[in-house]
Structure 1
């Protein structure tokens, strides 16, 4: 499991890339990826292209990110989901809370 974060040049967007298993073991690294930034972005992008697995604790971490970003007013996008990850997000009704592409 690897989690990296990269703010955009203007600081308005933060991209968090996840590869490998996205589960409870990623909890601290995922929180650090968005909390330990010098900028306060307007939009968060979670790139799940390399994610091979997602469990209920990962869903909880995404909800914590959404709360951190502003709750109902948050702009959090989940991008590059493979079929298995997309199915988990769909069953959990996350398309009502996040932009999923």
Structure 2
């Protein structure tokens, strides 16, 4: 289970990618992937294309990321969730809170 993050060359976009499982064991690593960034109006892209499992703690971590993004007037996009993860996000009605592409 790995989290990778990459800031774009222009500094306007941060992509956070999560492999395979997104659960509580990634709590600190996930927070560290964005917490030091205080850039205003940054677009955060949470790439869940490789994520096959996500539990309720992952939903909570996404909400904490959303709070961080809003604090810094940014925008959060959940990108390419797998079918399984998309169903979880839909059940939790995350499409009402953020963009899911």
TM-score (norm. length: structure 1): 0.91
Structure 1 residue 61 displacement after superposition: 0.3
Give 2:83's aligned residue: 83
Structure 1 residue 80 displacement after superposition: 1.1
Q: Deviations over 1:48-93 (max 9, x none)?
A: 011110110000000000000116x641000111111000000000
For 1:3-82, list aligned pairs within 5 A: 3-37=3-37, 40=39, 42-70=42-70, 74-82=74-82
Task: Output the CA distance in 2 between the equivalents of 1:93 and 1:74.
Answer: 21
Q: Deviations over 1:16-69 (max 9, x none)?
A: 0000110000100000000134x6251100000111101100000000000001
Structure 2: runs of 5+ lacking an equivalent: none
TM-score (norm. length: structure 2): 0.91
Structure 1: runs of 5+ lacking an equivalent: none
Query: Alignment RMSD, CA only?
Result: 1.5
Describe the SS at the equivalent of 2:49: strand
Describe the SS at the equivalent of 1:49: coil
Find runs of 4+ consecutive structure 1 residues off by over 2 angstroms.
none
